[in-house]
Amino acid sequence: MFAAYVTVTVVAAVLTGSAAVTYLVGHPYPKAQLDMKRLPHSWAPVLGTLLAAGSSGLLAGFAVPLLGTLAAVGLVLYFVGAFVAHLRVGSRQLVGPAVFLAVSVAALALGLGHRGPW
């Protein structure tokens, strides 16, 4: 159980961390995603910061379990919102948010299973 928890948590942190970097450096892909969802470009740094906080929180959860739990919950909520944003505009490009959501849910479930909520 411990190996699965560590592996999935690190994968989730790397995925969300790389997404955070793309938002924070002004890469064209997040801008295109914001345009497609009809959201202002001014949200990119905020969304990138949320992703970075979630990624950092997952890794900090190895030392402070409550931080890991809160970060995983935050990421799950973030990616549920991303999924809803895609559906709101009629987008059928749901694989990306579904993968990120699944990895975040797995990190949360394995974290809770391994150490409990605290």
Res 113: pLDDT:
95
pTM over 0.85: yes
Res 4: pLDDT:
97
Amino acid identity of residue 69, one-letter, is T
| DSSP assignment letter at 64 | S
Res 116: pLDDT:
80
Res 87: pLDDT:
95
Regions in the chain scoring below 70 on pLDDT: none
Residues in the chain: 118
Please state the separation of Cα 40 from the chain's center in Å: 20
Q: Reduced to 3 states, what is the DSSP secondary structure of residue 103? A: helix
Minimal CA–CA distance to 113: which of 37, 2, 8, 35? 2
Q: Where are the domains of the chain?
A: 2-115
Output the CA angle 67-73-74, nearest 5 degrees: 85
Res 3: pLDDT:
96
Minimal CA–CA distance to 86: which of 99, 74, 69? 99
